Structure 1
Amino acid sequence: MGVKAFLSKPLAAWVHARQKNWMERPAEAQQRVFQGIIQKAAGTAFGKDHYFKDIQTPKDLAQAVPVRDYEALRPYFDRLKTGERDVLWPGLPLYFAKTSGTTSGTKYIPITPDSIPNHINGAKNALLNYIHETGKAQFLDGKLIFLSGSPVLEQVAGINTGRLSGIVNHHIPAYLRGNQLPSYQTNIIEDWETKLDAIVNETLGQPMTLISGIPPWVQMYFDKIMSRTGKHIKDVFPDFNLFVYGGVNFAPYRAKLMESIGRKVDSIETFPASEGFFAFQNVQDDPGLLLLADSGIFYEFIPAEEFYQPHPRRLTLAEVKTGVNYALIINSNAGLWGYSIGDTVKFTSLFPHKVVVSGRLKHFISAFGEHVIAEEVEGALQDAMAEFPEVAVTEFTVAPYVSQGEDPSYHEWLVAFAQPPHDPERFAKALNWHLRKRNSYYDDLITGNILATLQVTPLPSDAFQVYMKRQGKLGGQNKVPRLSNDRTLADGLLEAVQK
């Protein structure tokens, strides 16, 4: 065991002890966060506009601050982009995290000196928690790869601006810099395919122990290595034992990734976003993610079915229940207030409070009143794949097909198979059955012959990569929506495949 691995264990024990304190009293931790951020932001433009000096309780906050998305808060963000101080949080942001929105164009999310530790410590503590739980720390002595966006930052009103993953790259601890791959020169390459080739060149022959990234882009990396060497990843990187991921549900990718690796490796799921680092998996055999209650973010939860109502309930962490879909609302030391990040979560346990990401508020299918969400299609696919073990999926999305004549309407699943089912018709029927079990409205529509059985349209294994490249969104932190209420994505995919 090397020095880094040896020294990490007492640090991991200390972090775990601190974590245990707020895990056992999460409501108290949230109350401290609430009081701290309200008091500190009272003198800001936003605080004055919304009478923060009079806010004493979360109910006061809910009455004074409406739920908003980026577009609704844009006037405040635009003031920050002119260099105005004390707008949403005292002073100026340390960074702008630049991200692409589906409706708001490019978004500039402030990261303040007070909020940057949330991003850095969230990722660091996920690893330290793993070390404490498993006793495995040897990965710190090998090479670690983080498949991320470019660390090159531009200036907006004198504020460093770039992709979140690029910003975080500047804060990797000095003691891990020597372990980190790819090199800075490779990491700044903008074209994803060129960058991926350079990453393969740099990592082949290196003692890789940890690989981190969004699953579909990690799969592209594995595919290139296997194509180059003719070997499974376990034979190329025999010391690789830890995969860290976030951003998408891992289940649809697990079988293909593990097949590429050639053996089981440990994994840690995280829940990061430009707006904050919210949760991480703290127990290997529990898929629930520990919600970080003491990290500068005060959470509110709106039952998903109430989100678009005029006066939805805004619940605190002390009021949530397991098994309910909630829209996640944050108030934070980044200066985000009543901010809807667009994700829905479901609590899998209380004390400790653990969540799974169940979908996106805007990513669902309800073209026929069924309101199918991401968690349901991903679960149905996972169940169907369990019945057809030969199937491996690279990527998929689901869109409605609305009948224009006598043919019935249905859901079209556009699936890029790495390995297709031996019997496609039976696979589609199994998929349909599992979705019916998960969504009663969908089941009613099938029973009433309003919808026909879903149809699976098989696509080449690289179809989504081709499409994303045409959109200028190949690689990095970009993700494909699981569900759409129209056929823009579906038709774009089919057009990309045909060309």
Structure 2
Amino acid sequence: MGLKAALSKPFAALVVNGINKWKKNALKAQEETFKSLIKSAAHTAFGKDHQFSEIKNYNDFKQRVPVQDYEGLKPYVDRVVAGEADVLWKGKPLYFAKTSGTTSGVKYIPLSKESMPEHIKAARNAILTYIHETGKADFVNGKMIFLQGSPVLNVKNGINVGRLSGIVAHHVPAYLQKNRLPSYETNVIEDWEQKVDAIVDETINEDMTLISGIPPWVQMYFDKLSEKSGGKKISEVFKNFTLFIYGGVNFEPYRAKIEQSIGKKIDSIETYPASEGFIAYQDSQKDKGLLLLVNAGIFYEFIPADEFHTENPTRLSLGEIVLDTNYALILNTNAGLWGYSIGDTIKFVSKNPYKIVVTGRIKHFISAFGEHVIGEEVEHALLTVANEEKVEITEFTVAPQVNPKAGELPYHEWFVEFSSAPKDMAAFSEKVDQVLQKKNIYYFDLIEGKILQPLIIRTLQKDAFVNYMKSEGKLGGQNKVPRLSNDRKLADGLEGYIA
């Protein structure tokens, strides 16, 4: 065992001891976070506008601060971007994380001197928790790769601006820098395909032990590695590769193909980072729940997902949640986001400690006919049948077809890229539809009532999603294919790739 691996174990034990303390007192940690946030922001423009000085408890807060997305906060954010201080949070941000908005174009998410360290600490603690639980630490002596956006930062009114993953690259601890790949010169390549090719060249002869990234783009890296090495499995190329860290999307649709590419099962850690804050990470190999980070500068609120679009939805604090209920996640952060709807839906799988799973996006659903099918349901339906039939999925998305050919009933249209396709597509489609009906009673009623016909699967060409994302300028980085759309934009774009 190398020196770094040896030293990591006592350090991991120390860190986990601290984590265990707040895990057992999660509600107290949230209460302290709430008070600290309100006090710190009382003299900001937002704090004054919303009478923070008069807020004594969570009920006071709910009466004064509305739930809002980026559009609601944009007038304040625009003032921060223009260089004004003390608007949403004290002082000015350290960075703006630049992300793509749906209606507002580019979004600028502030990162403060208080919030930035929490991103780094959470990523570190996810790894240390793994070391402490498993006793496996040899991987820290090898090379590690983090597939991420460019670390090049621009300056806007004195504040550095970049992609979150690129910003984080500037804060990698010194003790990991020598182990870390790719090089800065490779990391700054903007074209994703050129970048992955360069990463392959840099890493193929290295002792890679840890690989991290968003699953579809890691798969692209694996495919190119395999091609470059003459068809070898990743475990043959990197004999000491033992840990995969991922986030950003549900891993299950990609698991079979990634494990096939690796050639064996290896340990993995799921993380839940966002530009708005690092929310949770998997703290045990024994279950898939993600530990909610309750003392990381974020006060959480939860709205039952089926109430989110109503006029006065119920807003709950952590102590009021119930298990196995779909919630829209609302953040209040030490970077100045208030009543902020991040757009994700989550479900609690444990209260002791508080653990969650990410179930989808509040905007990614199909309810063209009142069925309100969500991402968790379509993934469950497809993967259940795919696993039974030994079918492998590369990528997929679903959209409603509300204007079918004359004489046909409307239907849900599934665009699926298979890495190994079913032998009988009609039978496969029927099974998927049956599972979805069992999962969603509204969908079942619509099928039974002959309002909808059963779903139809369109088989796509190899690399269809990669080529489509490339055509849209969204290949790689933090870009993800939405599982569900309530309109036809993505579906219409994929029609040219039907096999």
Output the TM-score relative to the length of structure 1.
Answer: 0.98
Give the equivalent residue in structure 2 for 1:399: 399
Report the alpha carbon displacement of residue 461 of structure 1 after superposing the two structures with TM.
2.6
Partner of 2:263: 262
Answering whether residue 65 of structure 2 is matched by residue 32 of structure 1, we say no
Separation (CA, whole Å) in 2 of partners of 1:422 and 1:416:
14
How do 1:366-381 residues align onto structure 2 when only pairs under 5 Å count?
366-381=367-382
Give the whole-Å Cα distance in 1 for the aligned partners of 2:342 and 2:462.
31
Letter of the 2:402 partner, please give it. Answer: V
| Pair 1:465-2:471 in alignment | no
- The gaps in structure 2 that reach 5 residues or longer are none
Kindly provide the amino acid, as one letter, of the partner of residue 297 in structure 1. Answer: I
Secondary structure at the aligned position of 1:170 is classed as helix
Distance in 1 between residues matched to 2:473 and 2:4, nearest whole Å? 39
Tell me the CA shift for residue 496 of structure 1: 5.4
* Aligned residue runs from structure 1 range 43-442, under 5 A: 43-229=43-229, 230-389=231-390, 391-404=391-404, 405-442=406-443
CA displacement 1:457-487 (0-9 Å, x = unmatched): 0102300100100110100110011101111
C-alpha contact 1:303 1:313 (8 A) present in aligned 2 = yes
Q: Distance in 2 between matches of 1:459 and 1:257?
A: 19
Partners of 1:472 and 1:422 in 2: CA distance: 34
> 1:450 Cα deviation (Å)?
1.1
Name the residue aligned to 2:445: 444
Distance, in Å, in 1 between the alignment partners of 2:475 and 2:97 is 19
The answer to whether the 8 A contact 2:458-2:498 is kept is: no
2:51 and 2:64 in contact (8 A); partners too: yes
Q: How much identity, in percent, do the aligned residues show?
A: 62
Q: Name the CA shift for 1:190/1:170 in 2 (closer, same or farther; >3 Å).
A: same
Residues 217-258 of structure 1 show CA distances to partners (whole Å, capped at 9, x for unaligned) of 000000011111110001000100100000100000000000
Cα drift, residue 323 of structure 1: 0.6
- Which consecutive aligned stretches of 4+ in structure 1 deviate over 4 angstroms post-superposition? none
SS at match of 1:331: strand
How far apart are the structure 2 equivalents of 1:281 and 1:434? 28
Equivalent-residue separation in structure 2 for 1:429 and 1:53 (angstroms)? 59
Q: Shift of the alpha carbon at 1:495?
A: 2.9
- The Cα of 1:20 is off from its aligned counterpart by 0.7
Deviation, structure 1 residue 497? 5.9
Deviation at 1:24, TM superposition (A): 0.8
Amino acid at match of 2:72: A
* Cα distance between partner residues in 1 of 2:396 and 2:103: 22
**Residues 408-451 of structure 1, C-alpha deviation per residue, up to 9 Å, x if partnerless?**
11111100111111221111111111111111111111111111
Deviations 1:332-356 (A, max 9, x none): 1010000000001000111111101
Structure-2 separation of matches of 1:76 and 1:292: 26
Q: Distance in 2 between matches of 1:91 and 1:403?
A: 53
> Could you tell me how far apart the structure 2 residues matched to 1:166 and 1:290 are?
25
Match of 1:492 in 2: 493
- Encode CA deviations 1:249-285: one digit per residue, 9 max, x unaligned: 0000000000000000000001111100000001112
Letter of the structure 2 residue corresponding to residue 232 of structure 1: K
Q: Residues 112-136 of structure 1: CA distance to partner in whole angstroms, max 9, x if unpaired?
A: 0000012111111100110111111
Amino acid at match of 2:94: L
Amino acid at match of 1:105: G
- Partner of 1:311, secondary structure, is coil
Output the amino acid matched with 1:383.
T
Residues 466, 497 of structure 1: 8 Å contact kept: no
CA contact 1:96–1:111 (8 Å) conserved in 2: yes
Secondary structure, counterpart of 1:460 in structure 2: coil
Structure 2 CA distance for aligned equivalents of residues 104 and 9 of structure 1 = 46
In structure 1, how many angstroms separate the alpha carbons of the residues matched to 2:428 and 2:498? 22
CA shift digits 1:286-336 (9 cap, x unpaired): 111000000000000011111122221111111101010111001110100
Partner SS for 2:85: coil
Instruction: Give the aligned CA root-mean-square deviation in angstroms.
Output: 0.9
Cα distance in 2 between the residues matched to 1:107 and 1:114: 20
* Deviation readout 1:130-167 (Å, 9 max, x if unpaired): 01111111110000000000000000111000000000
